[in-house]
Structure 1
Amino acid sequence: MEYVDITADDTKEIILMATNACNLKCKYCYETNKNAPSMYLDRLMTQLEYEIRDNSTGFKRFVINFHGGEPFLAFEKIKSLVEWIKLRFSDLNITFTTTTNGTVLSNEIKEWLLDHKNEFIPILSLDGNKDIHDRNRGNSFDKIDRKFFSDNWPNQGIKMTVSPNTIGDMFNSFVYLHNIGFYPNPTLAREVDWDLDIHLPIYVEELKKLSRFYIEHPKVKPGQLLDLPLHKFSPEYVSKHFNSCGAGFNTIAFDIFGNRYPCQTFIADLKKGYDMSEMDRIFSILKKNHNLNVSPKCEDCSIINWCSPCYGINYSNRGNMGEFDSTMCVFNKVTLLCAAQMFSEIYSNLEKYPWINKEPSELFHSIKGIKHIFELANQSLL
């Protein structure tokens, strides 16, 4: 199965918290509520009936994402819900996915995944070789059947999380994972102890090496870290809205009880209960939100057309969707500049890169966007 683009305007992602339980204690994990309960199926079925049939006008495709914890600890319930959804919504285009640490896959789970290979995509979390992976993920490397994933879902990206104690290994980890048959998508860990004086220079050098790899390997499509929507920076580009993610729009999440949230990062400690009026307020703000206006300090930001704040993590950790982590803002700006530099070289020899979108309008705006990014950098606005 090919890579699933959950950011497409006609695709709705519905995230289901399969279970809060997890068998690992990864050092950078933002999920702190790791208790044992798993999905209440009857309630979720009712919610899904409404969400898909009555509250999804304009969507042509659905992605059902089982979240955790470690989702496969609730395998029997996942299996039951997948079969129900397939029967209930057989007329719709629905893909299933989950992110797993890969350590609890029994032979039964593997067989089921293979039987559903063309509709269910398991995304593996793998940070690099044994030494790098085990630094943060509890000596779990040797428990993962890596070949099972690389052989059966070679086009699907894997989740490669980069933390302060592995930042210097980002490029080498990428190359290692690429060489053993994966499509790695490096992402920076959030809400951890980043030190800009120490880690930013290292990150810049690692980005340069990664971008050079993509330039010199034209058949390898850049991962999400550097494959950025540069066309949005064209002064002539017009967009409906610049929300950086689909939370509350084309992304909806349900906790194990079937309570509705804009995305999984808003799901709070289950012991505190569900505040429906508060979530209604959050949904209302997100619906009205344009240009990240939930954060006044971002109004004049040079990268407002693209950013990667996480409203849910901001809300859960600082009580305010607009209280962005200023450290991540710096990382975002250097990432954007590196992406522009990489694509300026790629666009100079388009025919070498089969994955490039050569649609004239997108090419036009992307080139304009790159020029504008360089102008911002020359004005010290990046």
Structure 2
Amino acid sequence: MITLKSFLKESFPTIYHISVTGKCNASCEGCLNGLIYGERRAFASSWEEDPEKTFQAINWLLDQTNGNPVFIAFYGGEPLLVFEKVQDIFYRIKNYYPQKNLKFFLYTNGNLLRKAVEKDPEFFSQLELLIISIDGTKVQHERVRKGTSLDQIEASLEFLKSHCPTKVLMWSTLREEMSFRDCLEEFFNLYQRGLVDFFFWHLIEKDCPIRDFSGFREGYLKDLTYLFERFVAELFKGKILPVLPLAELFFFLLKDIRRGQTGCGVEKMRSFDVLAGKILPCVDMGEELILADFRKDEIKNLDLSKLQDKLLSLVSYKDWLGCNTCEAEFFCGGRCPVLIKTSPERAMQYCVLIKDLVSLAQTFLPEVKKALKAHNLSEENLYYPYGYLNLLTDVIP
């Protein structure tokens, strides 16, 4: 097997997430920020920083990069609550680094999208990707993402698509009380209407295991099988259903590629988070490890090469988790240190689910090969742009 880094070479991106605010206009069940940082009112104010500090941190990071592409993400909270701050950082970076290969994307719950597009359609036109959280059809979505309106989100997407060429990724966060099939039906609805271009899902991080794991696993596998069947059926029509994880997984199997890192690549210094002028390896891990703080003066002497041991310690769990002998490790890369921190028991349940996913893909692989051959499609058609964009997401489940 070759690693993804060996395959991508100079096109392997570095990713910076800018947490522009801790504020949010929704109260989603299982909010990761709430899990890591506690009640929102206890931490949100500490995330509100002058964009100057954020710009200084990004400026320093960009000075360390080589010629590989850099993806810069605006993250929160809800970034569109402070859209002026997002605009300020975006245009300053664009103007200051015209020679850099920079691509931007933004995460949002979508409720404030129309107002932001009306204010600055050019900003959205220049995004590489808009990632929008939608967790199913109306009843399910609004039950788990309280404070949001799916009707309003869909109307905002219609407005966006009528004014900008922006590509949109629908991202679903699956909780054990939810239906994955319901998420898929909303994706198929929006995709057929031309309102979203890609689909990704992951399972939520929580501080406890799934109670009825056997029941959840049975239902999840049934819905996964339905998705695989839809994916293969479209492939036999010469079309690639833009479900990023499936496209990437089939490509890895066909080309004998292993990820060679966790989903975000935090331990390989391929991903950094910027929060209120601080640089962290992972904001979702909390602030136990701050790599640099631009509210202080000792930044000039910081050497990225000396951080490797600290970052590798974040994924030391791979030894006891058994990643080195796992048949699904080539795809998941060892899952994510956040879940190990919050609930090792849940992480081990997810290990079972990702093995199920890989096993299911192997079952459908002969049909995928036949479909590609029937339409004279190369294996790379699965990866560009589909599997490649999975670098901007996560590894599921």
TM-score, length of structure 1 as denominator length: 0.77
Partner of 1:226, secondary structure, is helix
Q: For 1:292 and 1:250, how far apart are their aligned partners in 2?
A: 19
Kept in 2: contact 1:17–1:255 (CA 8 A): yes
1:111-170 CA-partner distances (Å, limit 9, x unpaired)? 314454033532211122211211201152233223134554564321122222222534
What does residue 335 of structure 2 align with?
309
What does residue 121 of structure 1 align with?
129
Name the CA shift for 1:358/1:79 in 2 (closer, same or farther; >3 Å): closer
Name the CA shift for 1:282/1:137 in 2 (closer, same or farther; >3 Å): farther
- The structure richer in helix per residue is 2
What does residue 159 of structure 2 align with?
148
Partner of 1:299, secondary structure, is helix
Runs (5+) with no aligned partner, structure 2 = 1-6, 294-303, 384-397
What does residue 221 of structure 1 align with?
241
Partner of 1:133, secondary structure, is helix
Kept in 2: contact 1:67–1:98 (CA 8 A): yes
The correspondence for 1:173, drawn from 181, 186, 195, is 186
Name the CA shift for 1:254/1:303 in 2 (closer, same or farther; >3 Å): same
Shift of 1:358: 5.0
Kept in 2: contact 1:66–1:99 (CA 8 A): yes
Name the CA shift for 1:282/1:207 in 2 (closer, same or farther; >3 Å): farther
Shift of 1:301: 2.0
Provide the aligned C-alpha RMSD in A. 3.4
Name the CA shift for 1:99/1:337 in 2 (closer, same or farther; >3 Å): same
Whichever residue aligns with residue 23 of structure 1, its letter is N
What does residue 325 of structure 2 align with?
300
Name the CA shift for 1:16/1:129 in 2 (closer, same or farther; >3 Å): same
Name the CA shift for 1:180/1:355 in 2 (closer, same or farther; >3 Å): farther
Deviates more, 1:288-297 or 1:218-227: 288-297
Kept in 1: contact 2:14–2:270 (CA 8 A): yes
Identity score, percent: 19
Counterparts in 2 of 1:39-50, with a 5 A limit?
39-50=49-60
What does residue 203 of structure 2 align with?
188
Shift of 1:108: 4.8
What does residue 199 of structure 1 align with?
216
Runs (5+) with no aligned partner, structure 1 = 1-6, 363-382
Partner of 1:265, secondary structure, is helix
Counterparts in 2 of 1:26-45, with a 5 A limit?
26-32=28-34, 33=37, 34=40, 35-36=44-45, 37-45=47-55
1:231-263 CA-partner distances (Å, limit 9, x unpaired)? 6568x957694444311421111112x222223
Q: For 2:209 and 2:53, how far apart are their aligned partners in 1?
A: 39
Name the CA shift for 1:231/1:21 in 2 (closer, same or farther; >3 Å): same
Shift of 1:283: 4.7
Q: For 1:326 and 1:160, how far apart are their aligned partners in 2?
A: 21
Name the CA shift for 1:220/1:120 in 2 (closer, same or farther; >3 Å): closer
Counterparts in 2 of 1:70-149, with a 5 A limit?
70-105=78-113, 107-119=115-127, 121-140=129-148, 141-144=150-153, 145-149=156-160
Q: Which has the higher contact order (CA 8 A, sep 6+)?
A: 2
Shift of 1:326: 0.8
The correspondence for 1:164, drawn from 151, 176, 186, is 176
What does residue 309 of structure 2 align with?
284
Kept in 1: contact 2:131–2:168 (CA 8 A): yes
1:30-85 CA-partner distances (Å, limit 9, x unpaired)? 111432342332222222222111x213x421111011111111211111111110
Shift of 1:350: 1.3
Name the CA shift for 1:108/1:232 in 2 (closer, same or farther; >3 Å): closer
1:263-312 CA-partner distances (Å, limit 9, x unpaired)? 332234xxx895879xx998524348899745453332222222261113
Whichever residue aligns with residue 241 of structure 2, its letter is K
TM-score, length of structure 2 as denominator length: 0.74
Q: For 2:50 and 2:258, how far apart are their aligned partners in 1?
A: 39
Kept in 1: contact 2:110–2:132 (CA 8 A): yes
Kept in 1: contact 2:169–2:200 (CA 8 A): yes
